[in-house]
Structure 1
Amino acid sequence: MLMKVIKSSEICSLIKDGDMVFYPGITLGGFAEESVIEIEKSFLATGHPRDLTVYWQSGVGNRGDRGFAHMAYEGLLKRGVGGHLKGCGPAVERLAGENKAEIYNFPQGVMATMPRYIAAKKPGVITKVGLGTMMDPRQGGGAMNQKARDAEDLVEIINIHGEEWLLYKLPKIDVTIIRGTYADEKGNISIKKEGYQLGQLALAEAAKACGGIVICQVEKIISSGAIPPKEVKVPGIMVDYVYVAKPEYHWQTAQTVYNPVYAGEYKVPLDSIPLEKLSPRKVIARRAAMELSPYSVVNLGVGIPEAVSSVATEENVLHLLTLTTEAGGIGGVPANKHDFGCCWNADATLEMADQFDFYDGGGLDFGCLGALQIDEKGNVNSSMLNGGGIGVGGFMNVAGGSKKIVFTTIFCGGMEARLGDGKLEITREGDIKKFTNALEQISFNGELAIKDKKEVMFVTERAVFELTEAGVELKEVAPGISIEEDILDQMDFMPIIKDVKLMPAGIFNEKWGGLAEVMERKMKG
């Protein structure tokens, strides 16, 4: 079939009720947003298409009303399987929480690599990522609500050579809707201005392997031969339909229309990047950064971990590290907030699936991740809060592939503090305990991490803990903090207490300047 140019309003005529649709995307990057707007319009006007099964790679949207939020309707969505929920916005979280569709969450690395397994007609994604966690069928198999738990089991435990593995089942794709920058008249697709490589080729191949169709959103159609062969991301023989999007639905990320630095067109002085302001979040990032070793390959998760890159830049140690993002960035400084996954001054931008292969294979020296809840065994919940599904994104792949893991969190949610003079003063205690044995889900299994001989730490603004074979041990407290009142009284379990030291006083001041010295000591051994 020759590629056909269509209007976005024609997309709904190509999607049948009950179809399975697979989307790439992270924030709004690589996401064909105009297609979901047209699907939403059609569903609200006619009730069709309906009962769709939709797979998506990551948090797709602006955590508000854009992106995948346009698909969050009862009746429109029968089943959703995604790498993240909260990033898709409140409408998706409500759809899951109110049990109006079957909602599953799989690790982002599974979602990223899944298309190439479908393309090659493999039996499934077979991995140890997720064993002993909420992905394990013995703990829910990734189901995020009762409707999913009552539906099909999408994850199986299999045994290979005496070892347990998880097998994530593969869907049969009817439609994939990808995005590029340009399409030529033969349907060849370039992603020249994209900030990410999100498996566009693998998804096109997967759809073709299933007998499905490939639709591509672009910003412009250009003449045949205008795209150099090595810049063709998806050849036209795999593309059935192309439409030109309105500019407002073709943003590079959820907060940036277009930044040529993210596309790798040029680099900028790093001192032009905004730095983190002093706050408990920055204190945590500084203390976490002290666990970095020179020449480490590093991944920094969303939230507090994002601030670690700002600290490393401000402290002039960035040249000693290689920061990476799960979306494929190598080197430079990871962008934060709704530009998450892009990089300032990246050395390379890999396919997201290739990056996850590197992670899953143990390529990370250091991973810094956020945590919602931590129990006495070092298990961590990062995927569910107050019964609402958040999702894990790349959390499990980073935790599984890192030799050293530092989890970061505010000690009690809702706290307020005064910083300065080398100490921390709690001015209002928070009312949400993070150190509790009542985990809503297990996103990280502490006992398995100990068996795998991983170094695991938990860093907060007032205390630092280490995971040992005996449990969670208190190692440091902030100057100005009472162990009894400010730490033990705010935990639901008693940590191991042996030799407790003070956290470095300098990290509580406006200016620090101590990270380079920490790194230098490590280089000297």
Structure 2
Amino acid sequence: MYEIMSADEAIRLIRDGDCICVNSFVGIENPTELHEALYRRYQKMQSPTHLTIVSSAGFGVWDDEHNAEGYIREGAVDKLICGHFGAMMSTKKLVLEDRFEAYNLPLGCISHAIRAQAGGLPGALSKVGLDIFVDPRREGPGINRISIDDSLVKHVEVDGDEFLYYKLPKITIAMIKGTAADRKGNITFDDMFMSGDALSICQAVKANRGKVIVQVDRLVATPSRPRNAIIPGCLVDAIVVAEPQERNEAYTALTGSFEIPYKEWHTWNEKINDLSQKQRKNNIPANIIGKRAAQELRVDDIVNIGIGIPETVARFARKSGMLDMITLTVESGGIGGFPVSGEAFGAMIGAASVYDMANQFDLYDNGGLDVCFMGALEVDKYGNINAHRGTGAFAGIGGFANITAKTPTVVFCMTFNAKGLEVTQEKGVVTIHKEGEISKFVEKVSSVSFSAKRAIENGQKVLYVTERCVFRLTPKGLKLIEVYPGVDMKKDIIDRLPFEVEV
């Protein structure tokens, strides 16, 4: 039977050595009050300690002084297993200083491994991750020098076919944010941007005889409609009521509390960008890339668009009217609306459906997308991509590996080089005024996020769209298939590549 507790009381359920699973998505829907209470207890008692924390999409609030950052920084955590570290501002830096063990697994594979535990299974099989960095035959999932746990990912054969086997430590504590709890302890997510892995986490924790702690905005007297109760009260141990911060109307819109028709998507997106003070400068190279990449869209396509340069694809799809004829998706579980970026990434304007994250990755892993548009840090002569790890910096693979593993058409959107690139386009003619200092095309990528070999075996169409040309993946490597008007093929492309390409 659940109990209503303060955050400080609920955190006493956590013991030294526990494995905590946090239900959040990058920077949204974090149970912040629970994290803050855990930090207070650790500062006072130096306990709980030797913790392991698992999160499919990471847990941060883009602020290194709040949420879990404090107790991680001060030594309460021995091990982190996350799909993405982007919103964990101090933590992602400490990872590279070998302060604790840290592992990066594909977001969807963590989600599916949690669901496996919920079903009484030790782990989950997946094709995702073969021949990229997480494959133990390559680098393995460890981010730093002390992360040497080889039990998390194994290469296995089943019925003559190869897979990666993802196995998480036994989850013993759930930390979850919900909207409301009724008098039976049932938890709803009505005012949330997503429900993530919430139910699977609770089921896994109960299978492991652990404790489920849920932070909610309010208590309600009337029982929830059965289909709206994501977590049944019988799985909950502690409910913590924490009055939410007041939300601007633009963010309230992302909960689906009122309908936002297609013709208003752009207006609401502008409102959200204004709130986050997101700069909307005229990035000419990105515009050139987005316009060309958007030509790969077809009517009725199911699509995923990554953040950064790929976001310009949606802009040109809207201008052409194609945006209303495709279905956009986001990793957190949203389908049929318009994904927002920035600090609210994972939320969706006008979503038609928001379901469990594991179900979204079922769709991605089985090739249910028609096309995806992703960014890239490096590409090599074989067509391999590094999209998750830069020099001296690390964010993580997130859903990238799942999204690109089996999607029939994969379009990488990237500038030819970076840091100082200056380009203009007038009447369709591209002029390169200044080259960037950092080449995106390298002899060999420093870490593999996308395997060209696997893509060829899968029969995927793979394009690399830049501001001056387009390459296509072939069994021999990259093939130059388009050069834009105004671009000198030899001077601006061939002579700047560290390897030969087919033309």
In 1, Cα distance between equivalents of 2:434 and 2:5: 58
Letter matched to residue 413 of structure 2? T
Counterpart of 1:186 in 2: which secondary structure? coil
1:238 corresponds to 2:243: no
In 2, Cα distance between equivalents of 1:64 and 1:478: 42
Give the structure 2 partner of residue 371 of structure 1. Answer: 376
2:259 corresponds to which of 257, 260, 266: 266
**CA positional deviation for 1:385:** 0.7
In 2, Cα distance between equivalents of 1:87 and 1:282: 26
Distance 1:424 1:461, change over 3 A: same
Give the structure 2 partner of residue 410 of structure 1. Answer: 415
Distance 1:348 1:462, change over 3 A: same
Distance 1:82 1:4, change over 3 A: same
**CA positional deviation for 1:372:** 0.8
Equivalent residue runs for 1:300-379 within 5 Å: 300-379=305-384
Give the structure 2 partner of residue 388 of structure 1. Answer: 393
| Identical pairs, percent | 34
Counterpart of 2:253 in 1: which secondary structure? coil
> Which ranges of structure 1 fall in alignment gaps of 5 or more residues?
498-525
In 1, Cα distance between equivalents of 2:395 and 2:341: 18
Letter matched to residue 122 of structure 1? L
Q: Deviations over 1:345-367 (max 9, x none)?
A: 12211211101101111111101
TM-score of the aligned structures, taking structure 1 as reference length: 0.88
Distance 1:431 1:461, change over 3 A: same
Q: Deviations over 1:48-95 (max 9, x none)?
A: 222210001114334443545345315222000001122322x12212
| Contact map agreement 2:478 2:501 (CA 8 A) in 1 | yes
In 2, Cα distance between equivalents of 1:489 and 1:204: 56
Give the structure 2 partner of residue 101 of structure 1. Answer: 100
Q: Could you tell which deviates more after superposition, 484-493 or 402-411?
A: 484-493
In 2, Cα distance between equivalents of 1:161 and 1:188: 42
**CA positional deviation for 1:236:** 0.7
| Contact map agreement 1:371 1:382 (CA 8 A) in 2 | yes
Q: Deviations over 1:24-56 (max 9, x none)?
A: 111333321221122223333442222210001
Letter matched to residue 81 of structure 1? I
**CA positional deviation for 1:460:** 1.2
Distance 1:31 1:294, change over 3 A: same
Distance 1:76 1:419, change over 3 A: farther
In 1, Cα distance between equivalents of 2:180 and 2:128: 36
1:291 corresponds to 2:288: no
1:428 corresponds to which of 427, 434, 456: 434
Give the structure 1 partner of residue 425 of structure 2. Answer: 419
**CA positional deviation for 1:386:** 0.7
In 1, Cα distance between equivalents of 2:251 and 2:68: 20
| Contact map agreement 1:295 1:322 (CA 8 A) in 2 | yes
Counterpart of 1:247 in 2: which secondary structure? coil
Counterpart of 2:212 in 1: which secondary structure? strand
**CA positional deviation for 1:492:** 2.0
Give the structure 2 partner of residue 114 of structure 1. Answer: 113
**CA positional deviation for 1:184:** 1.6
Counterpart of 2:99 in 1: which secondary structure? coil
Give the structure 2 partner of residue 30 of structure 1. Answer: 29
**CA positional deviation for 1:495:** 1.9
Letter matched to residue 422 of structure 2? E
| Contact map agreement 1:74 1:101 (CA 8 A) in 2 | no
> Which ranges of structure 2 fall in alignment gaps of 5 or more residues?
271-279
**CA positional deviation for 1:373:** 0.6
**CA positional deviation for 1:397:** 0.7
Q: Could you tell which deviates more after superposition, 382-391 or 131-140?
A: 382-391
| Contact map agreement 1:12 1:49 (CA 8 A) in 2 | no
Distance 1:155 1:480, change over 3 A: same
Q: Deviations over 1:109-128 (max 9, x none)?
A: 11222222111111311011
Distance 1:29 1:292, change over 3 A: same
Q: Deviations over 1:239-291 (max 9, x none)?
A: 0001112424x97xxx9984234335321423414577642222211111111
**CA positional deviation for 1:419:** 3.4
Give the structure 1 partner of residue 453 of structure 2. Answer: 447
| Contact map agreement 2:187 2:231 (CA 8 A) in 1 | yes
In 2, Cα distance between equivalents of 1:19 and 1:215: 13
Counterpart of 2:230 in 1: which secondary structure? coil
Q: Could you tell which deviates more after superposition, 268-277 or 472-481?
A: 268-277
Counterpart of 2:289 in 1: which secondary structure? helix
Counterpart of 2:169 in 1: which secondary structure? coil
| Contact map agreement 2:104 2:396 (CA 8 A) in 1 | yes
Give the structure 2 partner of residue 190 of structure 1. Answer: 188
| Contact map agreement 2:42 2:71 (CA 8 A) in 1 | no
Distance 1:283 1:218, change over 3 A: same
**CA positional deviation for 1:476:** 1.7
| Contact map agreement 1:101 1:147 (CA 8 A) in 2 | yes
Letter matched to residue 200 of structure 1? A
| Contact map agreement 2:39 2:68 (CA 8 A) in 1 | no
In 2, Cα distance between equivalents of 1:373 and 1:77: 32
Counterpart of 1:419 in 2: which secondary structure? strand
Counterpart of 2:53 in 1: which secondary structure? strand
Give the structure 2 partner of residue 128 of structure 1. Answer: 127
Give the structure 2 partner of residue 55 of structure 1. Answer: 54
Q: Deviations over 1:386-421 (max 9, x none)?
A: 143321111011101300100111211112323333
In 1, Cα distance between equivalents of 2:288 and 2:44: 51
Q: How many residue pairs were aligned?
A: 489
Distance 1:362 1:232, change over 3 A: same
| Contact map agreement 2:250 2:268 (CA 8 A) in 1 | no
| Contact map agreement 1:29 1:194 (CA 8 A) in 2 | no
Counterpart of 1:29 in 2: which secondary structure? coil
1:209 corresponds to 2:202: no
Give the structure 2 partner of residue 463 of structure 1. Answer: 469
Give the structure 2 partner of residue 19 of structure 1. Answer: 18
| Contact map agreement 2:28 2:343 (CA 8 A) in 1 | no
Give the structure 1 partner of residue 275 of structure 2. Answer: none
